[in-house]
Amino acid sequence: MSVDTAKNPDHAPVPAAGPELVRLENVTKRFGDHTVLDGLDFRVDAGKHVTLIGPSGSGKTTILRLLMTLTTPDEGTITVAGERLFPAPAKQVREIRKKIGMVFQHFNLFPNMTVLRNITEAPVTVLGLSRDEAAERARELLELVGLADKCDAHPGQLSGGQQQRVAIARALAMRPQVLLLDEVTSALDPELVAGVLDVLRDIARSTDITMLCVTHEMGFARDISDQVLMFDAGRVVESGPPEKIFGDPEQERTREFLSAVL
């Protein structure tokens, strides 16, 4: 991952570590006269885990929503695996979207479907897998998230933490190249947070999936990240490896933010 530092001349650029998977160039997003992202440039390299931190309202979730095509930029370009996601024709967008998985703050499971069906539905309808293939993959993923015995349960019978682990399995069932995680523990009761973060740590360790993660869990960010980006007011204030950002931040804004949340 590297950050274009043209707007932050104090910071040395972070060298690219591998093949580029996601690139945002000069991305600006406004809501009315509020500029939420302001000429943002950054890239995420394949296999890396990149975490976005910063105060509420600084534009972190908007970046994930842009990548999910839930909203579009006012200016700039977005490229995923070498192909243009924005601007691009609808058919191309649909194809690229298959490479991107997202887990939301609120799990958004289908309440009337079993856990297994929640996970198999998109692989069958979008990727064209057979029900059997999709079910086999779903069972492996349920094992990975520690819920092998919950195939036949409905979401309403599960705790919030278990539902979020199903949502993680559901996202992975599409075999995305990049997994977007949007404050995935912030809607959970405190005692359920650790279980979900442990599952994500495991996935970060045991798979080669690229992760782009918005989180307020600084310990988790420190553990899994290759790069941490500190946001403020739609800009990257500072970026670097977690040891640097959490251990010896350069920017006053980063220090202020961390002392408020740690």
Q: Which residue ranges make up the site for ligand ADP (CB under 6 A)?
A: 31, 36, 54, 56-62, 214
Return the structure tokens found at 57.
Answer: 């309202």
Measured from the CB atom, the residue of 54 and 101 that comes closer to ligand ADP is: 54
Measured from the CB atom, the residue of 45 and 232 that comes closer to ligand ADP is: 232
What's the min distance (Å) between Cβ of 227 and ligand ADP?
17
Measured from the CB atom, the residue of 7 and 205 that comes closer to ligand ADP is: 7
Return the structure tokens found at 259.
Answer: 């002392």
Measured from the CB atom, the residue of 59 and 101 that comes closer to ligand ADP is: 59
What's the min distance (Å) between Cβ of 62 and ligand ADP?
3
Cα separation of 190 and 51, whole Å?
A: 21
Task: Please answer whether residues 181 and 214 qualify as being in contact, where contact means their C-beta atoms are separated by less than 8 angstroms.
Answer: yes
- Going by C-beta distance under 8 Å and a sequence separation of 6 or more, which residues neighbour residue 242? 51, 221, 222, 223, 225, 228
Q: What is the DSSP letter of 184?
A: T
What's the min distance (Å) between Cβ of 225 and ligand ADP?
17
Cα separation of 103 and 118, whole Å?
A: 13
What's the min distance (Å) between Cβ of 88 and ligand ADP?
22
Return the structure tokens found at 258.
Answer: 């961390």
Cα separation of 211 and 179, whole Å?
A: 5
The alpha carbons of the chain give a radius of gyration, in whole angstroms, of: 18
What's the min distance (Å) between Cβ of 195 and ligand ADP?
24
Measured from the CB atom, the residue of 57 and 160 that comes closer to ligand ADP is: 57
